[in-house]
Structure 1
Amino acid sequence: MKLKDQYRFIRQNIKKNRARTFMTILATAMGCAFLIVLASVGYGLQQSIVKETMEQQIVTQIDVYGKEKGNNYEALTMEDIEQLEKVENVKAVTRKNQLRQMPTYTIDNYIAGTMAVSTYFPSEVKAGLELSEGRLPENPNEVVVGYQFANELKLDTEENVYDEETGEVKEEFRYSGNLVGKTITMTVQKDMESDEIREIPLTVVGILEEPTKEWMSDLNVYISQDVFEQVEAYTGTPGGEIGIDPDTLESNQVESFDEVQVYAENLEAVQGIVDELGDNNYATYSVVSEMKEINTLFTIAKAGLILVGTIALIIASIGIYNTMTMAVTERAPDIGIMKAIGANPKTIKKIFLLESSYIGIIGAIIGTIVAYLTSMLVNIGLPLILEMAFNDEMPEGLKFSAIPWSLVVIAVGICLVVTILSGMRPAKRATQIDVLKAMRREI
């Protein structure tokens, strides 16, 4: 019996029982769509979280928190910086120290209180530092400021200068001039018990680029190491910290850094650098390591969701089994004739397996189309519903559902396996029909 004749035989049976076959295909399609949509939630949230994490951080950046010595972690020193710079595929090693008191900055009749950070600009430039305007410092008393620093400069008045809703400085009280080329005065305290202060004039020569995310802000003033040391010498404490007695401090303290980042030449080199630093007892963090953990977590979640979705297909397989059993019963005379004229039992079994596969393929195609439509509606409608329900705006670019081709292949594969297994028993039963009984419709 030719394959073309087998398909003709299958189509004839489907035409005879359109309603029953349609309901079976519908149940299969619903099961397949449920599997895909359910698993797509895991894929969608994974994509959103990975995208958000990648946008928030430079993927080639490795944060180094300290070096393990015994049971403790020690702050990194210049010796460590030199060692880190020698690691293969390292492009730059940046280091920062934050002033341990909050200075005030004044220009004309405007004032702001924000952090001062000492940084080594040559390594920052290697790492990819860019300015929105101006240039990098060339002299000790030249500084660059964060993109939002000017918004923090407010008129020095007793009036309420802050907007009650946003918490930002009102437009009419905010500094509106161009800071580049202007001199600001940084005021630091000597200690908490006296009113003694020191004023250090600083020239703003550049403004950093705007942070990549809307919710991020950079208000810092980036000072030179010379200015940082001036404040330390004035207060007599590390980092210009106030509230501690300089006489209680050790005199032989080694200069260390609050924040150290290693930048790899490319993304592929990150993991190798992390592994080497780990072998040398450095405590590190990189976005690549976080991606591994996120992907592992979501792989487990997606596997669980696919398993739950498969249950729906297994339930649909009951309908397929019933449909195929009825088909064998109704076509007993046809099977008897086929066996009487010498049809191979394998051919008869193949016909019924093809029919159950046909139901599975049609159901999978319909289910996939429905799943894609549902996914689109979920991504459009669910954020609107949540925003209305909780009166809170959803993060931009958040995806609740995503259907990659791999998920479609997995779902269609599971659907076919389930439908074929459902047709195995009825197909085997068809090969066992007695010819004489079949002709008398006695099975």
Structure 2
Amino acid sequence: MKFKDRYRFVRANMKKNKTRVIMTVLAATIGCAFLIVLASIGFGIHKTAIKDITNGRLMTEIEVHGEKPFTRKDIQKLDELKNTKTVTRKQIVENNLTYHLEKYESRSETMVADIPAEKKAGFELSRGRMPIHKNEIIVGYDFAQGLAKIPDEETKNLSEKELQNKLKESQYKGDLLGKTVQLEIQQMKGKKIVKKNFPLTIAGIGKKPSKQWMLNESVFISEGLLKDIERFTKTPRGIMNLPENKPIKMDYNVFNNVKVYTHTADEVEGVSKKIEKMGYSTYSAQNELKQINVIFLIIKIGLITVGTVAVLIASIGIFNTMTMAVTERAQDIGIMKAIGAHPGVIKKIFLMESSFIGIMGALIGTAIAYLFSYGVNLILPVLIEQFFHEKPPENFYFSYIPVSLPLICIAICFSVTLISGLRPAVRATQVDVLKALRRDI
């Protein structure tokens, strides 16, 4: 018996019992939709967590830490490792420094960075250009927010809320690009604090941070300017030589905040192991991702298992439908056996019918699950904001359905329906021909 003939036979028999077949398909649909929707919650929260970790952080970035400060030789060794794209390093100016612009001042973190290495690592400007001269600087995107008017006597008597409002009003509102700021450096000379100003021109403004709550007020200065600062303070990186401190004997050419960048995310693990063999400790976003992926894998397996229970309940309906089909078609089975149909063919016919019911339910259930997922991601944030006056986290996924989830669901549904239809199909092959033709089973 050809596949085409078997298909026609199954289709004709399903049409005879439309109501029963529709209700069985509906049960399979509900079970499959429940499985996908339940599992999609785990996938949605997982996707949100991954996005939160990776957003604003390069997946090719490896933070390197050592017990001792990094020297140029250490940086060179890291740069020579296979699959290393670039190595960024910074020297933080450790001084009680202040930036002055007109009546405004700011105490922003100041550092020296290797600009070519930073550019390779993905550093970008929102406006302006990279520095050319030693008195040119790059400021962070939010540097202007840190520039505020010098507090006067009136601010001392204000409450914390009033002080915050006052500071917002006193923030610098002008355009920073091309402006000249005065960098004030301090050092102890005996028991007195001596100050010196370095005029600096803002050549570029850094790119806006990827997250709204992140602020970037840092300042990049040139290596030449750092040397001028060190000549004034007579200490490495402008460290204040307080009377109670011992004389500074640290190396001038050491670096902190060292990061290694690979060409692709797949190379991070291999490069990290090589760096660790050199005696350093490493950290990358992938360290967090591994732990999170394992946790969410367990959660997703649990949700899929719970959802599978609904599919198993639907399989009871399929078993019942196929058992009734064998009883009702006993005479047809008897005729097929009488004309020489092989028991395997009869078995395949009933398994085909149960499979059709399961696949139809899985496909319709998948479509419903996608509609539900889209609707809940669209409507739920609005409802939460409307009734609870709370705004959900940015880019939060309440439900997410990857391609693999419907495939898993269809595979589970198909397997369950085959198992459900197996017993009735075997029973169909055992029907006695003479009794079947007499309609007496």
TM-score (norm 2): 0.86
1:176 and 2:173 matched? yes
Q: Which residue of 1 aligns with 2:285?
A: 287
Deviation at 1:163, TM superposition (A): 10
* Partner of residue 78 from structure 2, selected from 80, 84, 99: 84
* Partner of residue 426 from structure 1, selected from 421, 424, 427: 424
Counterparts of residues 76-225 of structure 1 (less than 5 Å) = 76-158=70-152, 164=161, 167=164, 172-190=169-187, 196-206=193-203, 207-225=205-223
Q: Report the CA distance shift for 1:182/1:336 in structure 2 as closer, same or farther (over 3 A).
A: closer
Q: Which sections of structure 2, spanning at least 5 residues, go unmatched? A: none
Counterparts of residues 272-421 of structure 1 (less than 5 Å) = 272-388=270-386, 390-421=388-419
Q: Which residue of 1 aligns with 2:9?
A: 9
Percent identity over the alignment is 45
Q: Give the 3-state SS of the residue equivalent to 1:422 in structure 2.
A: helix
Alignment deviations for residues 265-291 of structure 1 (CA, whole Å, 9 cap, x no partner): 444543432232122222122334444
Q: Which stretch of structure 1 is more off in the superposition, 34-43 or 126-135?
A: 126-135
Amino acid across the alignment from 1:147 = Y
Deviation at 1:249, TM superposition (A): 5.6
Q: Which sections of structure 1, spanning at least 5 residues, go unmatched? A: 67-72
Aligned length: 436
Q: Give the 3-state SS of the residue equivalent to 1:256 in structure 2.
A: coil
d(CA) in 2 for partners of 1:74, 1:10: 77
Amino acid across the alignment from 1:221 = V
Q: Which stretch of structure 1 is more off in the superposition, 262-271 or 350-359?
A: 262-271
Q: Report the CA distance shift for 1:265/1:166 in structure 2 as closer, same or farther (over 3 A).
A: farther
Deviation at 1:335, TM superposition (A): 2.2
Deviation at 1:394, TM superposition (A): 2.4
Amino acid across the alignment from 2:399 = S
Q: Report the CA distance shift for 1:211/1:2 in structure 2 as closer, same or farther (over 3 A).
A: closer
Deviation at 1:390, TM superposition (A): 4.6
Alignment deviations for residues 16-59 of structure 1 (CA, whole Å, 9 cap, x no partner): 32222221111111111111222222333333333343331123
CA contact under 8 A between 2:34 and 2:310: conserved in structure 1? yes
CA contact under 8 A between 2:85 and 2:262: conserved in structure 1? yes
d(CA) in 1 for partners of 2:243, 2:335: 106
Q: Report the CA distance shift for 1:183/1:252 in structure 2 as closer, same or farther (over 3 A).
A: closer
Q: Give the 3-state SS of the residue equivalent to 2:422 in structure 1.
A: helix
Q: Give the 3-state SS of the residue equivalent to 2:212 in structure 1.
A: coil
CA contact under 8 A between 2:33 and 2:368: conserved in structure 1? yes
Counterparts of residues 216-295 of structure 1 (less than 5 Å) = 216-225=214-223, 227-228=225-226, 239-240=237-238, 247-248=245-246, 251=249, 255-295=253-293
Amino acid across the alignment from 2:195 = R
CA contact under 8 A between 2:140 and 2:217: conserved in structure 1? yes
Q: Which stretch of structure 1 is more off in the superposition, 342-351 or 222-231?
A: 222-231
Q: Which stretch of structure 1 is more off in the superposition, 124-133 or 154-163?
A: 154-163
Q: Give the 3-state SS of the residue equivalent to 2:55 in structure 1.
A: helix
d(CA) in 1 for partners of 2:430, 2:256: 80
Q: Which residue of 2 aligns with 1:41?
A: 41
Q: Which stretch of structure 1 is more off in the superposition, 218-227 or 193-202?
A: 193-202
TM-score (norm 1): 0.86
Q: Give the 3-state SS of the residue equivalent to 1:95 in structure 2.
A: strand
Deviation at 1:411, TM superposition (A): 1.1
Q: Report the CA distance shift for 1:400/1:318 in structure 2 as closer, same or farther (over 3 A).
A: same
Amino acid across the alignment from 1:80 = D
d(CA) in 1 for partners of 2:133, 2:245: 32
Q: Which stretch of structure 1 is more off in the superposition, 175-184 or 278-287?
A: 175-184
Q: Give the 3-state SS of the residue equivalent to 1:34 in structure 2.
A: helix
CA contact under 8 A between 2:235 and 2:248: conserved in structure 1? no
Q: Give the 3-state SS of the residue equivalent to 1:349 in structure 2.
A: helix
Deviation at 1:420, TM superposition (A): 0.7
Q: Report the CA distance shift for 1:78/1:291 in structure 2 as closer, same or farther (over 3 A).
A: same
Q: Give the 3-state SS of the residue equivalent to 1:199 in structure 2.
A: strand
CA contact under 8 A between 1:237 and 1:246: conserved in structure 2? no
Deviation at 1:421, TM superposition (A): 0.6
d(CA) in 2 for partners of 1:116, 1:169: 26
d(CA) in 2 for partners of 1:222, 1:361: 61
